[in-house]
Amino acid sequence: MQLKEYYKQLISDKTAVIAANVYNYETLRGIISAAEQTQSKVILQLSKSSLEYLGINTAVGMCSSALKESGVEGWIHLDHGDSIELVQSCLDAGFNSVMIDGSELEFQENVRLTKKAKEIATKYNVPVEAELGFVAKLGQSISNNQSGFTKPEEAKLFVELTNVDSLAVSIGSAHGFYKEKPNLDFVRLAEIRAILPNTPLVLHGSSGIEHSDLKKAISNGINKINVATEFKNIFMNTIRIEVSKNDEIDLRKIFPPAIKAVKELAITKFELTKKAE
C-alpha cells in the first residue's frame, strides 16, 4: 500500500501509525520484531545524522530487507530533512516518504522550501511531511509560552499553498526527554484537525509523553506518532548494564538483550494505535 493511501485510512479510522527512528541494525531489529508481533504497519525513520552514520544506501537496503524478510508492511522516511539536496538524495536512494523541515524559517520561506520539496518528490510519487510551528529540537530551550505553537488558520493556509501530504504540528511537545510534564494543547489540535480534515497530522517529540496523553492526541487528530529518544535511551541503558556484567567480547551476546528492550518498548507504542478509546 502507498503511504498516502494508508494515511487516508488512518484519518477515517481516527488512528495513528508509529514512526520509529532507527539507528543501526539492532534498533531496526527491535522495531521490526515489535511490529511483527503486534501485526502493525510501521514507518522507519532516519535522520540526517543516522544516514551519515550508516550510509544512505546501506540504510535503505537494511530497512527494506528487514521489512521484506519479516513480512511487516512499512515505509522508509527521512526525518527532519534540512535541505533539498538531502531530500533529493533520499528520493534517489528509494525512500518512500520525506520530511522537509522549514519550521525555523519565516512562514513564506517555509512555504517556499516545502513547495520545492513537494515539486521534486511528486516526480517520485513520494509524500512530503512539513512542519509548521516550532517543536524544540534537542538542546534547544523549551518555551512555555504558546507563540511557537501551530495556529490553525496558518496551518490551513500552509497546506493550501504547499499541497503538502502531512503536517507536523506544534502543540506543546519537544524533542528529547522532558524535565517537566508537557501540557499538550488538545483544544488547538482539535481545531487544526477540524480546519484540515484531510491532512494527516504528525506529533514529533513523543518520547516521555504519557501514554494516556498520546491516546488523547490520537483521538484528537494525530495520525503519526514519532518516537526516537526513548528507543535510543533504552538501547544504550541496556547495553551499559550488559557490558558491566562481564567481559564478554561476543557482541552477538551483548546486543540481543538491548534489541529485546527496544522491542518491548516498541510493543507498548504500537498498542497505543490499536483502536484507542
Which segment (4-12, 87-95, 204-212, 255-263) binds Zn ion by CB under 5 A? 204-212
Residues 13, 79, 185, 213: which is the catalytic one?
Answer: 79
* Residue 175 DSSP class: S
Choose between 48 and 260: whose C-beta lies nearer to Zn ion: 48
Which segment (114-122, 155-163, 203-211, 268-276) binds Zn ion by CB under 5 A? 203-211
Choose between 204 and 263: whose C-beta lies nearer to Zn ion: 204
Choose between 77 and 204: whose C-beta lies nearer to Zn ion: 204
Angstrom CA distances, 41 to 177, 186, 249, stand at: 25, 26, 35
Does the footprint of Zn ion cover residue 151 (CB under 5 A)? no
250 carries an active-site annotation? no
Helix residue spans in 78-206 (DSSP H): 84-93, 107-123, 152-162, 186-195
- Report in angstroms how near the CB of residue 99 gets to Zn ion at its nearest: 8
- Report in angstroms how near the CB of residue 226 gets to Zn ion at its nearest: 5
From residue 90 to residue 129, the character string flagging contacts with Zn ion as x (rule: CB under 5 A) and all else as - is ----------------------------------------
Q: How many CB atoms lie within 10 A of CB 248?
A: 11
Q: Which of 29, 77, 188, 204 binds Zn ion (CB under 5 A)?
A: 204
E-strand spans in the chain? 17-21, 42-47, 74-81, 97-100, 128-132, 166-169, 201-203, 222-227
Choose between 41 and 204: whose C-beta lies nearer to Zn ion: 204
* Residue 148 DSSP class: T
Task: Tell me the helices (H) and strands (E) count for the chain, helix number first.
Answer: 11, 8
Check residue 221 and give left, alpha or beta (phi > 0: left; psi -120 to 50: alpha). Answer: left
Report, as residue numbers or ranges, the catalytic residues.
79
Residues that bind Zn ion (CB under 5 A): 204
